């Protein structure tokens, strides 16, 4: 559920008119609902009551500081994949012992920064990375707590670009080698293996792949206990999907029940890394119609948002519901591509979409844009990035100002 609703034919975010926000902050504009973020986090986190657990929000889904602070105040930890995300999480006031560091390519300075912060643990993706973390920790006279990310070769049945648990994916340590790498970790001087990690992909619409992976992980857990390697944390990653169109993802309660059944009587803390399921439907992207164009075989609605603002449709072929901000009583509709100003044929927000007949200046809301929207945006074609607004009931927070032209060149001073 989200709090973007029509009132008398006009779209509101909580108690604020979207049209009013556009009048003040212009378009393209990302708008987030604090009430939706809170509802989604609580619904997810409460599904695992009865299990020792820590919910670590996946920062890459939406890394705005206002969002991280909001979730931190609700008790969330953070799952990070870069030094920059660590910097953001700490700036947002997140307790370091609630931060886990994932990702296949951690650089030495990033490892040092995480050790200095004393984060909960690193999710290690390879033997080479494990050795590098031990080296850095030794130089700093610190002990690095680690979890090994296991690749269980489970098909998550999702888009291939966001599948991470198959043998052909770059992520994790193959399950056949896991025991040997744990033995190595156990014997390294500055490493303490404290967890097992597994993340098989994103936008999953069934819990069965999670459970298939968990069965393999629990088998490894018992073998490690026999070796005297005490595992305190089981990190199952994130990946639970949301509804963009006609998907029917499971409710977190269903997921929680299944995990409770398998993990009962296990002396272990469960870690979960939700991102999209918390943020996806908590945000919209608002764009303005610039022109309409009729070609021999296509109708085009040209808007001021583009693939640099929301790349998911171009990159993944993803569907996002698009609706006018002001509903029209007119019955006339057209089938059109909703496209942006960027010089790429792949620059579209929707293709062959049935919409009311629109005119210049009309506003469109692109729904389910709260996750992997702004975080994946860019300045391609030298387009300043959009502003981000967080609405909390009747309170408006400018979460990120709109970039201006000087922001495009302020790191290029030597060329001026």
Binding residues for substrate: 276, 312, 316, 344, 372
Q: Is 221 left (phi over 0), alpha (psi -120 to 50) or beta?
A: alpha
End-to-end alpha carbon distance in the chain: 50
CA distance 265 to 273: 22
How many other CB atoms sit within 10 Å of the CB of residue 412? 8
Which residues are known to be catalytic? 343
CA distance 21 to 246: 29
Contact predicate 154/129, CB 8 Å: no
Name residue, tokens 């994946």: 376
CA distance 286 to 305: 8
- Of 199, 331, 186, the C-alpha closest to 276 is 199
**Which residues lie closer than 8 Å to 263 by C-beta, 6 or more apart?**
51, 234, 270
Q: Is 297 left (phi over 0), alpha (psi -120 to 50) or beta?
A: alpha
Q: How many CA atoms lie within 13 A of 371 on its CB side?
A: 27
Binding-site residues for pyridoxal 5'-phosphate, in ranges, read: 239, 273-276, 372
Torsion of CA 359, 365, 366, 370, to 10 degrees: 160
- Structure tokens belonging to residue 45: 């986190």
CA distance 320 to 369: 8
- Of 251, 222, 250, 215, the C-alpha closest to 236 is 215
């Amino acid at each position: 559920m989200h709090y973007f609703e029509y009132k008398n034919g006009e779209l509101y975010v909580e108690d604020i008119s979207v049209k009013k926000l556009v009048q003040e902050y212009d378009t393209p504009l990302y708008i987030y609902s604090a009430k939706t973020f809170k509802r989604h986090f609580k619904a997810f986190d409460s599904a695992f009551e009865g299990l020792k657990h820590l919910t670590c929000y996946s920062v890459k889904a939406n890394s705005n500081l206002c969002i991280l602070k909001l979730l931190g105040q609700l008790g969330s930890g953070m799952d990070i994949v870069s030094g920059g995300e660590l910097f953001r999480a700490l700036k947002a006031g997140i307790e370091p012992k609630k931060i886990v560091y994932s990702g296949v390519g951690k650089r030495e300075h990033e490892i040092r920064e995480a050790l200095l912060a004393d984060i909960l643990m690193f999710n290690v993706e390879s033997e080479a990375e494990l050795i590098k973390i031990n080296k850095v920790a030794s130089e700093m006279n610190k002990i690095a707590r680690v979890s090994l990310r296991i690749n269980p070769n489970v098909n998550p049945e999702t888009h291939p670009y966001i599948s991470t648990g198959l043998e052909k994916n770059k992520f994790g340590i193959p399950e056949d080698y896991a025991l040997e790498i744990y033995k190595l970790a156990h014997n390294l001087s500055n490493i303490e293996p404290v967890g097992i990690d597994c993340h098989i992909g994103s936008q999953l619409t069934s819990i069965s792949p999670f459970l298939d992976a968990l069965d393999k992980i629990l088998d490894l857990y018992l073998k490690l206990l026999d070796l005297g390697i005490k595992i305190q944390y089981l990190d199952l990653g994130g990946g639970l999907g949301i509804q963009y169109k006609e998907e029917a993802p499971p409710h977190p309660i269903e997921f929680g029940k299944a995990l409770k059944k398998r993990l009962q009587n296990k002396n272990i803390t469960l870690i979960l890394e939700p991102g999209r399921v918390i943020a996806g439907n908590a945000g919209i992207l608002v764009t303005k119609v610039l022109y309409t164009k009729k070609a021999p075989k296509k109708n085009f609605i040209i808007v001021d948002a583009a693939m640099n603002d929301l790349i998911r449709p171009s990159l993944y072929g993803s569907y996002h519901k698009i609706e006018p901000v002001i509903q029209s009583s007119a019955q006339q509709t057209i089938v059109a591509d909703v496209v942006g100003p960027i010089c790429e044929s792949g620059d579209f927000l929707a293709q062959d979409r049935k919409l009311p007949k629109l005119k210049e200046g009309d506003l469109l809301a692109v729904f389910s844009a709260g996750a992997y929207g702004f975080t994946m945006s860019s300045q391609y074609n030298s387009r300043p990035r959009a502003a981000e607004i967080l609405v909390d009931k009747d309170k408006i927070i400018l979460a990120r100002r709109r970039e201006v032209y000087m922001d495009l060149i302020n790191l290029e001073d030597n060329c001026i």
